[in-house]
């Protein structure tokens, strides 16, 4: 089976199961309530519609990498968010209800407990979705980290963002807000660690115009989403036109250190612009600290040893939607924050945007200010 078909098939089947479970859970728990039978056809219609639109999302994105119809895309990702959220809320509800049945209560107390759990279920469902929407669409918070680096010529501050995902939801106005936050910081350079776009190069227009007000150097490496909708070279040219230095398997000297960047792992899948750390290290000054920008933590785990002092990554969104967090952690090993791995340090940004559903739950977006200090 071609790998291109795995994502749409697995995603469609998984979310079909989610929606079947949602129907079973809600209908089983609320049938005893008077008048619920009136709403049963609507519940069936809702779950069927969710399953169909979820499938459209996975097939459309998995096979084409994009949607030509923006309205359809937005409808699909909202439905995907609803399916995902409702499934785990229903699962938590069922586990809680099962636990309540184990404990012996009087009939009146059991009836009260059931009503309490049912009301809690409804409140949780709405709170989960609306709080998640708010978290995803607001301007990210600023987080500061101090990182010790050996042989550092002078103290440096890097503003770091990743996973902006400019596209159907996040547009020029969002980037303006992010840039305003960045410009409030005391920093020496801005590092953008991949997944800037969910757009083709011919769809960009003036979306990168906000970058023009940044007067400090800007460095960028590709992420997996730069490959999905377009030849990544077109998006690279757009970044270069906006005054951004794109590190394409390169090392440059910056304020007494090697600032290095590799292409994303997706280059292996698509057969062009593949990451090449050996080529990068060959360009670096061995006597100066080495800072590597690599979009996916998985690349650092698989390819980077102790020849780098600090790796800066993105990609994970800190899981974006709990409990999806657990699957991301299994895939990438490093989820969010600062890690020590052998002699190197790894910082994984939670990103500023989102992919798919406009929801973040227990995974706040961030603009990171990394303060490099002498060890």
Question: Could you tell me the CATH number of the domain that includes residue 155?
Answer: 3.60.21.10
Task: Mark 233-260 as b/e (b = at least 16 C-beta within 10 Å).
Answer: eebbebbeebebbbbbbbbeebeebbbb
The string of pLDDT tens digits covering residues 258-315 is 999 999 999 998 899 999 999 999 999 999 999 999 999 999 999 988 899 999 999 9
Same domain, 78 and 147: no
Task: State which of 84, 119, 136 marks the end of a domain.
Answer: 136
Q: Is the pLDDT of residue 1 over 50?
A: no
Q: Tell me: do 92 and 209 sit in the same domain.
A: no
* Residue in the structure block whose two tokens are 């989102």: 354
The model's confidence at residue 64, banded by pLDDT at 50, 70 and 90, is low
* Judgement on whether residues 184 and 117 belong to the same structural domain of the protein: no
> Do 69 and 196 lie in a common domain?
no
Pair 219, 305 in one domain:
yes
pLDDT reported for residue 2: 53
Look at residues 96, 116, 136 and tell me which one is the last residue of a structural domain: 136
Instruction: Name the 3-class secondary structure at 204.
Output: coil
Do residues 343 and 237 both lie within one domain? yes
Structural domain including 51 reads 2-136
Residues 93 and 156 in one domain: no
pTM of the model: 0.87
Summarize the confidence of residues 144-153 as an average pLDDT. 96
Q: How many domains does the chain have?
A: 2
Mean pLDDT of 192-219: 95
Q: Last residue of a domain, which of 76, 105, 136?
A: 136
Q: Each residue of 209-259: pLDDT tens digit?
A: 999 999 999 999 999 999 988 789 999 999 999 999 999 999 999 999 999
Q: Does a cis peptide bond (omega within 30 degrees of 0) precede residue 323? A: yes
Are the C-beta atoms of residues 288 and 253 closer than 8 Å to each other?
yes
Say how far apart CA 97 and CA 103 lie, in whole Å: 10
Average pLDDT of the chain to the nearest whole number: 90
Report percent pLDDT > 70 for the chain.
96
Which pLDDT belongs to residue 62?
Answer: 64
pLDDT of 93-128, one tens digit each? Answer: 888 878 777 777 677 777 777 778 778 877 877 887
């Amino acid at each position: 089976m071609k790998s291109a078909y795995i994502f749409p098939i697995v995603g469609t089947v998984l979310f079909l199961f989610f929606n079947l479970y949602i129907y079973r859970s809600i209908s089983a728990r609320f049938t005893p309530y008077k008048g619920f039978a009136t709403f049963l056809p609507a519940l069936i219609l809702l779950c069927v519609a969710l399953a169909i639109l979820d499938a459209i999302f996975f097939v459309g994105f998995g096979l084409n990498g994009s949607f030509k119809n923006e309205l359809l895309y937005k409808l699909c990702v909202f439905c995907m968010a609803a399916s995902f959220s409702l499934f785990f809320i229903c699962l938590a509800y069922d586990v809680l209800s099962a636990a309540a049945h184990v404990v012996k209560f009087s009939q009146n107390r059991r009836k009260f407990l059931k009503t309490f759990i049912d009301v809690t279920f409804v409140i949780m469902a709405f709170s989960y979705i609306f709080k998640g929407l708010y978290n995803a669409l607001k301007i990210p918070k600023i987080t500061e980290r101090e990182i010790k680096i050996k042989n550092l010529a002078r103290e440096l501050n890097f503003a770091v963002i990743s996973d902006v995902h400019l596209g159907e939801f996040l547009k020029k106005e969002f980037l303006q807000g992010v840039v305003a936050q960045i410009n409030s910081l005391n920093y020496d350079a801005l590092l953008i660690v991949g997944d800037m776009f969910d757009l083709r190069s011919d769809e960009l227009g003036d979306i990168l115009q906000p970058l023009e007000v940044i007067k400090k150097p800007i460095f960028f490496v590709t992420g997996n989403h730069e490959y999905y909708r377009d030849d990544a070279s077109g998006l690279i040219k757009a970044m270069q036109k906006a005054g951004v230095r794109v590190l394409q398997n390169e090392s440059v000297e910056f304020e007494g250190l090697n600032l290095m960047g590799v292409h994303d792992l997706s280059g292996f899948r698509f057969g062009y612009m593949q990451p090449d750390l050996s080529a990068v290290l060959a360009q670096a000054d061995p006597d100066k600290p080495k800072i590597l920008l690599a979009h996916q933590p998985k690349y650092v785990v698989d390819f980077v040893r102790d020849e780098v002092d600090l790796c800066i990554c993105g990609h994970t969104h800190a899981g974006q939607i709990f409990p999806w967090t657990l699957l991301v952690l299994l895939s990438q090993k490093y989820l969010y924050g600062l890690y020590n791995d052998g002699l190197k340090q790894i910082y994984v940004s939670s990103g500023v945007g989102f992919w798919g559903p406009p929801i973040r739950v227990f995974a706040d977006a961030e603009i990171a200010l990394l303060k490099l200090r002498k060890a």
